[in-house]
Amino acid sequence: MRFFPLAIAEMAGEGMCVAGVDVETSKWVRPVVRGRRCLFADEASQFAPNCVHSIQLGEQQARDHSVDPDSLHTEDHVLLSVKGRDQPVDAATKVRILEQAKDHDLRLAAKSGRRSLFLVEPRQFQYREDTYGKPRFSFPSTLAATHANASGSELAGTRIAVSQSGPPCTCTRWTEFAARTWPDCEISDEDLRSLSSDARLFLLLSLSSLYNDRYWIIAAGVHVIGENRIWL
């Protein structure tokens, strides 16, 4: 398989999450250690952002029913080997891969079930810290929070929720990039366009662990690309 990682992130207390797509089929894949829901540092270090990797995968590894009762995390496959990687992709190639993989309607994609990874390109967004100091993205979508008590909204027919302040961001490459590029500022789509008029932002959204009997969406990977340049 020729695998393009879209998230390489630390997980709370367990290891590293590496997730992305098969560039030939746009199928979502999360390589894991056998018996685990993650990779450890040694395995994850074989993956580099913006590079296509040749990997060999084993069987699909279902998650325990107590962790994933709705069987949405179908992308986990045992990592057997990483055979090598190509030279870094150029901006046009990365945009093409993301365009093929992105979801045009987040609510319909989530409601279809049997998937825990989604890719969106919000036309408008804001990025800022919430009252607890947690960085979050907020953006208009068909999975907008409209719950009357302002604690979040549940997607009809599923157990997926999202806070009104937007999904938290766990992508350290983005948080470091944002702090370096726009120190001490809230960031919007207008700020991104000021970086470059052709800059585009894509978010890899992942379903986090169950919390209060729901899955919660987090932004696990952030990608900023222009016509001739990859910023992230």
Residue where the block lists tokens 């949405």: 72
Q: Tell me: the pLDDT tens digits for 78-97?
A: 999 999 999 999 999 999 99
What is the C-alpha separation between 110 and 106, in angstroms, rounded?
Answer: 6
pLDDT, mean over the chain = 87
What is the C-alpha separation between 221 and 20, in angstroms, rounded?
Answer: 9
Percent of the chain with pLDDT over 70: 91
Domains of the chain: 2-85 (2.40.50), 91-225 (no CATH)
SS3 7: strand
pTM of full prediction above 0.95: no
Q: Tell me: the pLDDT tens digits for 188-202?
A: 999 999 989 999 999
**Count, residues in the chain:** 232
Percent of the chain with pLDDT over 90: 61
The larger pLDDT score, comparing residue 142 to residue 105, is at 105
Q: Tell me: the pLDDT tens digits for 107-165?
A: 788 877 789 999 999 888 999 988 888 899 988 765 544 333 333 444 545 677 777 77
What is the C-alpha separation between 74 and 88, in angstroms, rounded?
Answer: 28
